[in-house]
Structure 1
C-alpha cells in the first residue's frame, strides 16, 4: 500500500481493500501545508492505517521543505507522539495546539 499525493484534490491517499484513507490539506502560500481532516475506512480504524498515511504525508512535506499546520486532531496527535516531526510545526503553533 503506497501513499499518493493527489494535488488536484489536495489530499494524501492510501488505497485499501476497504476503501480510501485520506489526509486532506490546504496549501498555505508556498511555504506550508495545513492538514484539516484525516479519514480511514471504518473497518480499518485502530489498525495503524491513519498513522502510516500521516507519516508518509509528513515525510513528503518535509522533503518539500515546507512547514505543517496541524489543524486535524489526528495529525496533531501523531506529531505530539512522534517528536521527529516537531520541527515541521512553527513553535507558536506548537504551543497553541499543546504539542510539546
Structure 2
C-alpha cells in the first residue's frame, strides 16, 4: 500500500481524486443535489474507479473513506448509487448514518 497518497475534491470535474505522487490513481464521481426527496443537500456517488496500475493496494477504500468523511464534515446526505461506495458503507456501519433513513432500504442498507 502506498505510504504517500492524497485525496482531493475536484469540484470542476465532479469527483474526488486519489493521487499517488503526481499520478491520479483513482476517482469517485459524484453529483451534488439540493433538497431532493426532502433529504436536504445531498451528494450522490455514481462511479468509483482505480487505475489497474494501482489495483490491490487498498486505494479504493481509502478514497471511499476520505470522500465520505468529507461529506460528513460538509453535512451532506449520501446517496450511494455507486456499487463500490454502497458496499463500503455496508462493511463500515458507522457510515450508514450518512444515508438518509428513508432511503437506506433503496440501497440495501436498512
Q: What is the TM-score when the length of structure 2 is the normalising length?
A: 0.84
What's 1:61 paired with? Answer: 71
Give unmatched runs, 5+ long, in structure 1. Answer: none
Question: SS at 2:45's partner residue?
Answer: strand
Moved more, 17-26 or 63-72: 17-26
1:5 maps to 2:9: yes
1:79 pairs with one of 84, 89, 107: 89
**What is the aligned partner in structure 1 of residue 109 from structure 2?**
99
RMSD: 1.5
Partner SS for 1:27? strand
Q: Whole-Å Cα distance in 1 between the matches of residues 8 and 85 of structure 2?
A: 17
Residue 24 of structure 1: aligned partner: 29
SS at 1:8 equivalent? helix
Structure 2 gap segments, 5+ residues each: 35-39
In 1: Cα distance, 2:48 partner to 2:104 partner:
19
In the alignment of these two chains, the number of paired residues is 100
Scaled by the length of structure 1, what TM-score is found?
0.92
